[in-house]
Amino acid sequence: MKRRELIQHLALITGAALSPSVVQAMINGIDGRINIQNPTLNETQRATCSVLAEMIIPRTDTPGAIDAGVPHFIELMVSDWYTNTERTIFLEGLATLNSYCLKEHGSPFLTCSQEDQIAALTHMEVLASGYKSKLSAMPFAKEVDEHVPFFGKLKELTVIGYYTSEVGAKQELIYQPMPMEYRDIEFREVGRQWSS
């Protein structure tokens, strides 16, 4: 069994809520710099996605989602790669997030305090937590679950956009495309996982 094949199988181990489509896109690789063909986000949605992406993967001792160009990637995927069903769930999720902020905090998401934004995103995670995919969790299944809730979609796009970016791959993880050998090492020798 080859490593990449194994990766595909293992990617699917993580259970029913996983979206193989995004795993496939991850394995295929995505160029965050390519132009968006059919931009679907308005300014508010675009700004909201940026804040959300940075909330999921913030700048710490290494660059964060915004540094890595993840907002562009999210917009690219939502605009050009998502199916209509997926796009609808995503955009409705943004709307739900905003309504929640208006109701609970009296202000749209973007102008909420950082604390209230965290509460709102946590609320979206709770909303998504009961979701069970109806699709097969078989390791070889290539079916796509379009119905993953907003939080799962947002988090998946952020994670994939970040770790496949040059910044995420090289500065947060270690990128070594020509390792020249395969052998055991002690984890402490590298301290991070490979992105390559």
| Tokens describing residue 100 | 């929640």
Taking the least distance from each CB to another protein, the nearer of 106 and 126 is: 126
Taking the complex as a whole, the smallest distance from the CB of residue 186 to another protein amounts, in Å, to: 6
Residues of this chain, 55-84, that bind another protein according to CB under 8 A: 55-58, 60, 76, 80-83
Taking the complex as a whole, the smallest distance from the CB of residue 20 to another protein amounts, in Å, to: 11
The continuous run of DSSP H or E covering 19 comes out as none
Query: Among the candidate windows 41-49, 88-96, 97-105, 180-188, which touches another protein by CB under 8 A?
Result: 180-188
Query: Among the candidate windows 42-50, 89-97, 105-113, 133-141, which touches another protein by CB under 8 A?
Result: 133-141
Q: Write the DSSP symbol of residue 111.
A: G
Work out whether 142 is an interface residue with another protein (CB under 8 A): yes
Q: Do 171 and 62 meet the contact criterion of CB atoms below 8 Å apart? A: yes
**Residue 95: alpha-carbon gap to chain centroid:** 19
Taking the least distance from each CB to another protein, the nearer of 106 and 141 is: 141
Taking the complex as a whole, the smallest distance from the CB of residue 117 to another protein amounts, in Å, to: 11
Taking the complex as a whole, the smallest distance from the CB of residue 75 to another protein amounts, in Å, to: 12
Work out whether 115 is an interface residue with another protein (CB under 8 A): no
Taking the least distance from each CB to another protein, the nearer of 63 and 98 is: 63
Report the amino acid identity of residue 87.
Answer: R
Q: How far apart are CA 107 and CA 29, in angstroms?
A: 38
**From residue 20 to residue 59, what is the string marking binding to another protein with x (rule CB under 8 A)?**
-x-xxxxxxxxxxxxxxx-----------------xxxx-
| Tokens describing residue 54 | 């940075």
Phi, psi (degrees; rounded to nearest 5) at 174? -115, 130
Work out whether 88 is an interface residue with another protein (CB under 8 A): no
Q: Write the DSSP symbol of residue 35.
A: P
Q: Do 147 and 85 meet the contact criterion of CB atoms below 8 Å apart? A: yes
Work out whether 10 is an interface residue with another protein (CB under 8 A): yes
Q: For residue 22, give every residue at least 6 positions away whose Cβ sits within 8 Å of its Cβ, in sequence order, or none.
A: 156, 157, 160
